[in-house]
Amino acid sequence: MSYAESLSLTLSEVILAAGALVLLLVAGWAGDKATRLISWIAVVLLAVAGLALLGPAGAAFGGQYQADSFAAFAKVLIYFAAGASILIAPRFFQLADGSHMGLRAEYPILILLACVGMGMMVSAGDLLSLYVGLELNSLAAYVLASFMRSDQRSAEAGLKYFVLGALASGILLYGISLVYGFTGTTAFDGIAKAYGDGVSMGELFGLVFVFAGLAFKVSAVPFHMWTPDVYEGAPTPVTTFFASAPKVAALCMAIRVAVVAMGPAAHQWQQIVIFAALASTILGGVAAINQTNIKRLLAYSSINNVGFALIGLAAGTQQGIAAVLTYLAVYVVMTIGSFVCVLQMRDAEGRPIEAISALAGLSRSRPGLSAAFAIFMFSLAGIPPLFGFWPKFLVFDAAVAVGLLPLAAVGIATSVIGAFYYIKIVKIIYFDEPGEEVFAANNNVVETGLMLLTALAVSPIGYLAIPVLGQLSDRAAGSLF
């Protein structure tokens, strides 16, 4: 296969990388004045890259890059989440901090480059490309986390993320080198062949370390500790990004590694995934209860949700993987929606408010926002008829189908715990006496539009999408088996 063909298969990454470079030049020339223009161009680039996914499927660069419908499904979610994170940023940064003259142009560019990295992750057919993609995404993420560098919490979040991320990278790299050492290859198909011949102790250790490294990326317990601090400290648009796109990328990457590369060792990794799923759902549910900061609460919620998604992976069947993909699609929409709602929590000067107690009696002053909040919370809690129920049902169904009844049972029990804190927010919004805080009115078309769109998608109307979503996710999962 010639390089031209290979490049054409990686068209979406090429578009994003080249676009990011051009935009970097534009930013260098025009300065921060052009941020708005660059943001919009970046969103357009993401859309174009998304269209490019319609191109042919195949393996590029000798199997290091896999262009298949699984990768395409994940990338659509990633690009959507990235686009949303870019769109909601300018206003936040303009209002959040007086010392900043609005958003700097590097923000959309970094997100674009992170998307390139995430694209590499989900398309990786080789541990090398996986690691490079992961690092590309991570480095961009570290910078984004401390993007409001004058804000102490933001800087701290970035540093923590960096240190722990480096540790996780080290673990992953060590696992990769073990795998390479014992199997003699970094290509997924070669690894699968080696694992198929029986799993030696060294290969087992490699597997454990690789999964530990991946678990950090998806913030599964016990590699989740960074999540609440980073989510809380990072600027809200960045948190939105963290909670959505990299989660999808890391989970999909983990799925590909688990199913394609280490499929023959399914029995071994299944134990780890089951443990991580259980621990994540339980801790994500339990620890969120005492939180007073809405972003921290949503961080635990994301841990909880990752646990549910991992239940589908633990099933390890095509049905399970398809369920995870559906879960991710709905999760991304719910997450973006709820963070856009959080963005609306601004005081009169536009400074962000993050205390949950500030939401008290919101229904009286902002009925629309309150309704959106309620929809997202109920949906996250997985209460029918909202759409958040459906993917949860799918993953439990997949788990039950392979006989993981206790896992599904615990999952359902923890979703009850989760329902408590989600519904508590609704209770605070609708039934508590209003406090002194008055939120500034929202007059931003983009944010309102996003909120409306995502709220509609997770409302019962979303069930109309089940046939399409089910077919797409099934096809995507099918491309791995």
Partner 1 sequence: MIQAFAFYLFATMLIASAVLVISARNPVHSVLWLILGFFNAAGLMLLLGAEFIAMLLVIVYVGAVAVLFLFVVMMLDIDFAELRAGFVRYLPFGLLLAMVLAVEMIFAVGAWKAGSLEMAQRLVPIPSDVPNIEAIGDLLYTRYLYVFEGAGLVLLVALIGAIVLTHRARGGIRPQNISEQVKRRPQDATRNIDQPVGQGVEL
Partner 2 sequence: MIQLIVFLPLLAAIVAGLGNRTIGNVPAKLVTTGALFASCALSWPIFISFLTGGAHAHVVPVLDFIRSGDLSVDWSLRVDTLTSVMLVVVTTVSALVHLYSWGYMSEDDSQPRFFAYLSLFTFAMLMLVTSDNLVQMFFGWEGVGLASYLLIGFWYKKPSASAAAIKAFVVNRVGDFGFSLGIFGTFLVFGTVSIPAILAASPDMAGSTIGFLGARFDVMTLLCLLLFIGAMGKSAQLGLHTWLPDAMEGPTPVSALIHAATMVTAGVFMVCRLSPMFETSETAQHVVTYVGAATALFAATVGTTQFDIKRVIAYSTCSQLGYMFFAAGVGAYNAAMFHLFTHAFFKALLFLGAGSVIHAMHHEQDMRYYGGLRKHIPLTFWAMMAGTLAITGVGVLGVFGFAGFYSKDAIIEATFASGSESGGIAFAVAVFAALLTSFYSWRLVFLTFYGKPRWEQSEHIQHAVHDAHGHDHDDHAHAAHGHDAHDEHDHAHGSVSDGTAGYHPHESPWPMLLPLAVLTIGAIAAGYVFHTPFLDAEHGAAFWQGSLAFDAHLMHAMHEVPMWVKMSASAVMLTGFVIAWFAYVRSPGIPAAFVSQFRILHDFLYRKWYFDELYDVIFVKPAFAIGRFLWKRGDEGTIDRFGPNGVAALVVSGSRLAGRLQSGYVYSYALVMLLGLAAAATWAMVG
Tell me which residues in 408-427 interact with partner 2 (CB under 8 A): 417, 420
Residue 442 in the binding site for partner 1 (CB under 8 A): no
8 Å CB contact between 313 and 320: yes
Structure tokens at 127: 């541990």
| Count of positions on this chain that bind partner 2 (CB under 8 A) | 37
List the single partner that 37 binds among partner 2, partner 1, none, CB under 5 to 8 Å by kind: none
Phi, psi of 435, deg, nearest 5: -90, -165
CA distance 399 to 407: 7
- Please identify, among the stretches 79-87, 250-258, 284-292, 310-318, the one whose residues bind partner 2 according to the rule CB under 8 A: 284-292
The only residue of 128, 173, 286, 402 in contact with partner 1, by rule CB under 8 A: 128
Minimal CA–CA distance to 303: which of 219, 419, 407? Answer: 219
- Please identify, among the stretches 225-233, 325-333, 334-342, 400-408, the one whose residues bind partner 2 according to the rule CB under 8 A: 225-233
The only residue of 70, 80, 147, 226 in contact with partner 2, by rule CB under 8 A: 226
Min dist. Cβ of residue 61 to partner 1 (A): 4
List the single partner that 171 binds among partner 1, partner 2, none, CB under 5 to 8 Å by kind: partner 2
Min dist. Cβ of residue 475 to partner 1 (A): 26
Min dist. Cβ of residue 316 to partner 2 (A): 17
Site string for partner 1, 140-179 (x = CB under 8 A): x-xx--xx-x--------x-------------------x-
Q: Residue 65 in 3-state DSSP?
A: strand
Q: Report the length, in residues, of the chain.
A: 481
DSSP string, 81-110: HHHHHHHTHHHHHHHH-TTS-S--THHHHH
Residue 132 or 401 having the CB closest to partner 1: 132
Placement of tokens 């999952």 in the chain = 411
- Please identify, among the stretches 43-51, 133-141, 239-247, 395-403, the one whose residues bind partner 1 according to the rule CB under 8 A: 133-141
Minimal CA–CA distance to 394: which of 460, 298, 330? Answer: 330
| Count of positions on this chain that bind partner 1 (CB under 8 A) | 49
| Cα-to-chain-centroid distance, residue 357 | 27
List the single partner that 194 binds among partner 1, partner 2, none, CB under 5 to 8 Å by kind: partner 1
8 Å CB contact between 118 and 78: yes
Tell me which residues in 118-177 interact with partner 2 (CB under 8 A): 160, 163-164, 167-168, 171
Number of H helices, E strands in the chain: 21, 2
Q: How far apart are the first and last CA of the chain?
A: 24
CA distance 324 to 477: 9
* β-strand pairing of 65-67 with 58-60: antiparallel
Tell me which residues in 188-227 interact with partner 1 (CB under 8 A): 190, 193-194, 200-202, 205
Residue 59 in the binding site for partner 1 (CB under 8 A): no
Helices 35-52 and 11-30: crossing angle, nearest 10°?
170
Structure tokens at 198: 């029986």
Amino acid at 277: A
Residue 3 in the binding site for partner 1 (CB under 8 A): yes
Structure tokens at 455: 């709220």
Min dist. Cβ of residue 127 to partner 2 (A): 18
The only residue of 45, 110, 254, 358 in contact with partner 1, by rule CB under 8 A: 110
| Integer CA distances (angstroms), 338 to 271, 299, 300, 374, 403, in order | 33, 12, 14, 9, 34
Residue 208 in the binding site for partner 2 (CB under 8 A): yes
CA distance 426 to 377: 7
- Please identify, among the stretches 120-128, 245-253, 280-288, 397-405, the one whose residues bind partner 2 according to the rule CB under 8 A: 280-288
The only residue of 116, 192, 274, 477 in contact with partner 1, by rule CB under 8 A: 116
Structure tokens at 478: 């099918």
What are the residues binding partner 2 (CB under 8 A)?
A: 160, 163-164, 167-168, 171, 201, 204-205, 207-209, 211-212, 215-216, 221-223, 225-226, 228-229, 268, 271-272, 275, 282-283, 285-290, 417, 420
What are the residues binding partner 1 (CB under 8 A)?
A: 3, 6, 10, 17, 24, 60-62, 64-65, 104, 106, 109-110, 113-114, 116-117, 120, 126, 128-129, 132-133, 135-136, 139-140, 142-143, 146-147, 149, 158, 178, 181-187, 190, 193-194, 200-202, 205
